């Protein structure tokens, strides 16, 4: 155990005890399980908030014409929905899972830097408080899309943009600290015998994600700093009038942005790689190739950013390079899908809720990968770019990808967290309603996108009306269903059948060797890994 | 378990990576500039040209002029002639008219670009109103010169160039600007 974790735990190790009583437990906690829970609750709150904004968007798009909100407010909704879902829901959920599970999976007593862990969590409510408060400011909140392209976000931005910039700085610092913590924990606190190539894939994918985070979050911080300087200090990074170039913004943003999309999916890859073997009652097929495929995806994610910029006028060789590099990513991704399917092949499958979400993940994420490949064809992207086809693509990789990965993980580990089995019947309802709602909402977007419906527009041509109504109905169904998830989780926390240490017979891993619920302190003496 | 660096050392190294990547974000700015220049990617032209060239009387190139206003700019802004037919290597001049119709003094900044973009590297400006800001009093009207040389080494398949200017209203913008403009 490293010296760094001792101060927070001085004197604790001899006599195990529970959490401090009262509210201050949550404010001051340095316990990885408490912090994991805080992250997960924060993420779910953000998910509901970002989700309500999506409901506003879909309500407006239910019919052509302007009915419910003004275009200015609509733009704020699309922007905030994207920002909150990416930075407030998906990323913190994975950090929460990492906090809870990585120490349990590698036999560590806690995260390597427990106090920094507390700080990095508590920065998030501050960041998002700031971000959401902009909606109530004169001139409104950010309205320039989650990608905040200059000059929309500089020359033409609402006054509140400075608060947006500061909020991005705070959440960036939080993510960077979280990532450093994960790297230090995984590299330094593994139990004896837990070699790198014995680590569960969730730990592997998170380790690689953490490296992606420390590589690109500073670039994001840099780009918002440049905006700040352009807005307040008279520089001209992105202003053509002063010798700058708005296209530069897009390069710097997407240098961050494309690795960011893998930050949102790699941990889900890891979780699914634990869940599918459990419910197939077979070891994971191709563990080593999974590790290398993850590394390859992470590496390639740095050299494909301009596939978001095919239409800005990059030279032909650039188009070709970024087109082929992007298509190359499909190879390691294909390796992963192949391995998941091979793991299920001839397994004794059962379909409890975690497995349902995991199987849907494999199928639907693959659909998102295919639409990604279509978008990667540079000449075709001139037709698809900035249409609903792109919206369909990234919702297929993010909703049944990242978010189903999170649901699968939550159901998989809820018995370990709460000590109770969740209500399987309700959980299956949650799955099927989410599955149907999500496909109804996002599948028609492929069609309207190919037919030319632009994204981020509050009104549309009559020809798109029916598909949009279906999308909206599906979105309402998906949104309402998530309240059922809240109910299931609360019910599981408050009671239910007691969970054994290992509630899934096919499961494997150190986290199942501790009782359920996991005691407040685990692995104070490191386990022996054969 | 202690097979890695001690945690404090590891954290320090990771923080170094963070700092380096923050710096890298800013390094992308000059890098982008250099790449665009080197490959003549986005039609950006270089700064004032000081070289001299021999006229190539055997070849002619059409140079077209475009003037447009950026959003929010209300000046009248146009070239005196739509195009010139020039010999590579020879120096030519074109005048652009700018007129401030408003009732307040305004500052304008013209930003040039050349199409086709790959020809930008062979289009030299020896003198240009875009090298400085233009301050016009209410109702004032001026003629602004640009002197240029089309390089003798312009690829043979380029017979036709367009020099476009976008005029930005930078009245009231404080701080360092324009120096970077080419
Ligand atoms: C086989 C893998 C993938 C390929 C080939 C691919 C390709 C692309 C391309 C070419 C675009 C740009 C489309 C345009 O704007 O015209 C795009 C957009 C996007 N992709 Fe993917 N993608 C893949 C996987 C993913 C994954 C795994 C995620 C996230 C989990 C993701 C998230 C996004 C997002 C968020 C956007 C839209 C960004 C925006 O403009 O708002 N993609 N993708
Ligand atoms: Cu991308």
- Name the residue with higher pLDDT: B132 or A19: B132
What is the pLDDT at residue A501? 94
State the closest ligand 1 atom to the C-alpha of A264, by its place in the atom list counted from 1. Answer: 30
A262 tagged catalytic: yes
Res. B177: pLDDT tops 70: no
What percent of chain A shows pLDDT beyond 90? 89
What percent of chain B shows pLDDT beyond 90? 46
Res. B38: pLDDT tops 80: no
CA A255, CA A160: separation in Å to the nearest integer?
25
Task: Determine whether the interchain pair A4/B182 forms a contact, defined as Cβ–Cβ distance below 8 Å.
Answer: no
State the closest ligand 1 atom to the C-alpha of A146, by its place in the atom list counted from 1. Answer: 41
CA B11, CA A184: separation in Å to the nearest integer?
7
Q: How many CB atoms lie within 10 A of CB B82?
A: 10
Surrounding ion ligand 2 within 5 Å at CB are: A 258
CA A510, CA A525: separation in Å to the nearest integer?
13
Which class does domain B43-180 fall in?
Answer: mainly beta
List domains and CATH numbers for chain A: 33-264 (1.20.210.10), 271-283+298-517 (1.20.210.10)
Nearest residue (by CA) to ligand 1, atom 6, is: A372
What is the pLDDT at residue A373? 96
- CA distances in angstroms from A30 to A58, A117, B15, listed in the order given: 40, 7, 21
What is the pLDDT at residue A17? 64
A472 tagged catalytic: no
What is the pLDDT at residue A22? 81
Q: A255 alpha carbon to ligand 2 midpoint, in Å? A: 9
Confidence of residue A14 (pLDDT cuts 50, 70, 90): very low
Is residue A227 within 8 Å of residue A154, measured between CB atoms? Answer: yes
The model's pLDDT over A62-71, given as tens digits with 9 standing for 90+, comes to 999 999 999 9
- CA distances in angstroms from A469 to A76, A116, A466, B84, listed in the order given: 22, 47, 5, 56
Is residue A284 within 8 Å of residue A201, measured between CB atoms? Answer: yes
CA A181, CA B110: separation in Å to the nearest integer?
50
What is the pLDDT at residue B40? 66
Q: A455 alpha carbon to ligand 1 midpoint, in Å? A: 14
CA nearest neighbour of A88 among A38, A128, A55: A128
User: Which DSSP string corresponds to A433-482?
Assistant: HHHHHHHHHHHHHHHHHHTTPBSS-S---GGGHHHHHHHHHHHHHHHHHH
Q: Angle of helix A201-232 relative to helix B7-39, nearest 10 degrees?
A: 60
CA nearest neighbour of A307 among A334, A325, A289, A330: A325
The model's pLDDT over A2-12, given as tens digits with 9 standing for 90+, comes to 434 444 444 44
Burial letters A464-495, b for 16+ CB under 10 A, else e = bbebbbbbbebbbbbbebbeebeebbeebbee
Contacts 24+ apart (CB under 8 A), A338-341: A338/A286, A339/A273, A339/A284, A339/A285, A339/A286, A339/A289, A339/A290, A339/A293, A340/A272, A340/A273, A340/A276, A340/A285
What is the pLDDT at residue A240? 81
Indicate the average pLDDT of chain B. 85
Burial letters A297-313, b for 16+ CB under 10 A, else e = bbebbeebbbbbbbeee
Res. A221: pLDDT tops 70: yes
Q: Which of A308-322, A338-352, B121-135 has the highest mean pLDDT?
A: A338-352
Is residue A383 within 8 Å of residue A458, measured between CB atoms? Answer: no
For residue B124, give the H/E element and its range.
strand B123-128
Picking from B5, B22, B178, the nearest residue to A218 by CB comes out as B22
User: Poorest-confidence range of A8-12, A24-28, B172-176?
Assistant: A8-12
Residue numbers in A near B29 (CB within 8 A):
226, 237, 248, 252
Question: What's the first-to-final CA gap in chain B, in angstroms?
Answer: 58
Indicate the average pLDDT of chain A. 93
Query: How far is B182 from chain A, CA to nearest CA, in Å?
Result: 7
Beta bridge partners, A454, equal A387
Residue numbers in A near B178 (CB within 8 A):
242-243
Res. A404: pLDDT tops 70: yes
Res. B4: pLDDT tops 60: no
Is residue A75 within 8 Å of residue A83, measured between CB atoms? Answer: no
Pairing state between β B83-86 and B61-69:
antiparallel
What is the pLDDT at residue A124? 97
Q: How many CB atoms lie within 10 A of CB A435?
A: 19
What is the pLDDT at residue B5? 66
Is residue A375 within 8 Å of residue A307, measured between CB atoms? Answer: yes
CA A435, CA A423: separation in Å to the nearest integer?
18
A78 tagged catalytic: no
What is the pLDDT at residue A244? 85
A258 tagged catalytic: yes
The model's pLDDT over A229-261, given as tens digits with 9 standing for 90+, comes to 999 998 889 988 777 889 999 999 999 999 999
CA nearest neighbour of A294 among A327, A331, A345: A331
Q: Is the dihedral of CA B147, B152, B153, B154 positive or negative?
A: positive
Show Cβ contacts of residue A427 under 8 Å, excluding neighbours closer than 6 positions: A352, A353, A411, A488
Res. A328: pLDDT tops 60: yes
The model's pLDDT over A461-506, given as tens digits with 9 standing for 90+, comes to 999 999 999 999 999 999 999 999 999 999 999 988 999 999 999 9
Residue A224 backbone zone (phi > 0: left; psi -120 to 50: alpha; other: beta)? alpha
Show Cβ contacts of residue A88 under 8 Å, excluding neighbours closer than 6 positions: A42, A43, A46, A47, A49, A50, A124, A128, A171
Minimum CA–CA partner of B25 in chain A: A219
- Name the residue with higher pLDDT: A433 or B120: A433
What is the pLDDT at residue A358? 97
ipTM of predicted assembly, 2 dp: 0.89
- Asked if residue A517 has a cis previous peptide bond (ω within 30° of 0), the answer is yes
CA A184, CA A187: separation in Å to the nearest integer?
5
The reported pTM is: 0.89
Minimum CA–CA partner of A255 in chain B: B25
Res. A142: pLDDT tops 50: yes
What is the pLDDT at residue A203? 97
- CA distances in angstroms from A467 to A174, A379, A460, listed in the order given: 40, 26, 12
Q: Which of A32, A33, A81, A393 is catalytic?
A: A81
CA nearest neighbour of B175 among A154, A227, A244, A234: A234
Show Cβ contacts of residue A287 under 8 Å, excluding neighbours closer than 6 positions: A197, A201
A110 tagged catalytic: yes
Res. B6: pLDDT tops 90: no
For B40, phi then psi, to 5°, come to 50, 45
- Name the residue with higher pLDDT: B3 or A247: A247
Res. B131: pLDDT tops 90: no
Mean pLDDT of B92-114: 91
CA A210, CA A267: separation in Å to the nearest integer?
10
Task: Determine whether the interchain pair A315/B2 forms a contact, defined as Cβ–Cβ distance below 8 Å.
Answer: no
Q: How many CB atoms lie within 10 A of CB B180?
A: 14
Q: A320 alpha carbon to ligand 1 midpoint, in Å? A: 17
- Name the residue with higher pLDDT: A19 or A451: A451
User: Which DSSP string corresponds to A16-51?
Assistant: ---PPSSTHHHHH---HHHHHHHHHHHHHHHHHHHH
């Amino acid at each position: 155990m490293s010296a760094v974790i001792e101060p927070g735990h001085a004197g604790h190790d001899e006599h195990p005890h529970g959490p401090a009583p009262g509210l201050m437990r949550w404010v001051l906690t340095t316990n990885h399980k408490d912090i994991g829970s805080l992250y997960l609750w924060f993420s779910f709150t953000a998910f509901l908030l970002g989700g309500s904004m999506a409901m506003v968007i879909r309500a407006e798009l239910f019919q052509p014409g302007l009915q419910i909100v003004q275009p200015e407010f609509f733009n704020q909704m699309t922007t905030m929905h994207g920002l909150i879902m990416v930075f407030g829901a998906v990323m913190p959920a994975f950090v929460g899972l990492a906090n809870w599970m990585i120490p349990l999976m590698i036999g560590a007593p806690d995260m390597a830097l427990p106090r920094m862990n507390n700080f990095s969590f508590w920065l998030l409510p501050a960041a998002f408080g700031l971000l959401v408060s902009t909606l109530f400011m004169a001139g409104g909140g950010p309205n320039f899309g989650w990608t905040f392209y200059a000059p929309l976000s500089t020359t033409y931005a609402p006054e509140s943009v400075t608060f947006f910039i500061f909020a991005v700085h705070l959440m960036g610092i939080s993510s960077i600290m979280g990532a450093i913590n994960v790297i230090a924990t995984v590299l330094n606190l593994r139990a004896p015998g837990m070699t790198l190539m014995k680590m569960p894939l969730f730990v592997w994918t998170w380790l690689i994600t953490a490296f992606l985070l420390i590589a690109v979050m500073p670039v994001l911080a840099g780009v918002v700093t440049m905006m700040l300087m352009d807005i307040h200090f008279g520089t001209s990074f992105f202003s053509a009038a002063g010798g700058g170039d708005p296209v530069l913004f897009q390069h710097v943003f997407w240098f961050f942005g494309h690795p960011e999309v893998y930050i949102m999916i790699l941990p889900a890859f890891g979780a699914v790689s634990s869940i599918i073997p459990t419910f197939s009652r077979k070891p994971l097929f191709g563990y080593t190739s999974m590790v290398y495929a993850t590394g390859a995806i992470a590496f390639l994610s740095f050299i494909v950013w301009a596939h978001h910029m095919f239409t800005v006028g990059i030279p032909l060789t650039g188009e070709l390079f970024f087109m082929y590099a992007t298509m190359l990513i499909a190879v390691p991704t294909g390796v992963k899908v192949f391995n998941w399917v091979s793991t299920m092949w001839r397994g004794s499958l059962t379909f409890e809720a975690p497995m349902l979400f995991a199987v849907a993940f494999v199928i639907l994420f693959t659909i998102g990968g295919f639409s990604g490949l279509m978008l990667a064809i540079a000449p075709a992207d001139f037709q698809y770019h900035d249409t609903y086809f792109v919206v369909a693509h990234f919702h297929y990789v993010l909703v049944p990808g990242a978010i189903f990965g999170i649901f699968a993980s939550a159901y998989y580990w809820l018995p370990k967290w709460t000590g109770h089995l969740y209500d399987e019947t309700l959980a299956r309802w949650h799955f099927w309603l989410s599955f149907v709602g999500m496909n109804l909402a996002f599948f028609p977007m492929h069609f309207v996108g190919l037919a030319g419906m632009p994204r981020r527009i509050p009104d549309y041509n009559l020809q798109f009306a029916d598909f949009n109504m279906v999308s909206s109905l599906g979105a309402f169904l998906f949104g309402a269903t998530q309240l059922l998830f809240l109910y299931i989780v609360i019910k599981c926390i408050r009671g239910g059948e007691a969970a054994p240490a290992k509630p899934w017979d096919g499961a494997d891993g150190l986290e199942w060797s501790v009782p359920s619920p996991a005691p407040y302190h685990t692995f104070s003496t490191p386990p022996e890994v054969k | 378990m202690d097979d890695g660096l001690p945690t404090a050392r590891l954290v320090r190294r990771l923080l170094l990576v963070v700092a380096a990547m923050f710096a890298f974000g800013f390094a992308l700015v000059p890098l982008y500039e250099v790449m665009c220049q080197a490959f003549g990617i986005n039609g950006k032209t270089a700064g004032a040209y000081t070289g001299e060239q021999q006229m190539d009387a055997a070849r002619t190139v059409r140079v077209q002029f475009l003037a447009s206003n950026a959003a929010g700019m209300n000046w009248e802004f146009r070239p005196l002639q739509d195009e010139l037919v020039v010999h590579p290597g020879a120096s030519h001049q074109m005048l652009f008219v700018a007129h401030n119709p408003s009732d307040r003094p305004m500052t304008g900044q013209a930003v040039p670009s050349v199409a086709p973009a790959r020809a930008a590297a062979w289009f030299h400006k020896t003198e240009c109103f875009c090298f400085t800001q233009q301050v016009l009093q209410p109702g004032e009207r001026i003629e602004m010169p640009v002197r240029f040389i089309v390089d003798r080494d312009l690829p043979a398949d380029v017979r036709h160039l367009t020099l476009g200017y976008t005029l930005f209203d930078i009245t009231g913008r404080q701080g360092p600007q324009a120096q970077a403009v080419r």
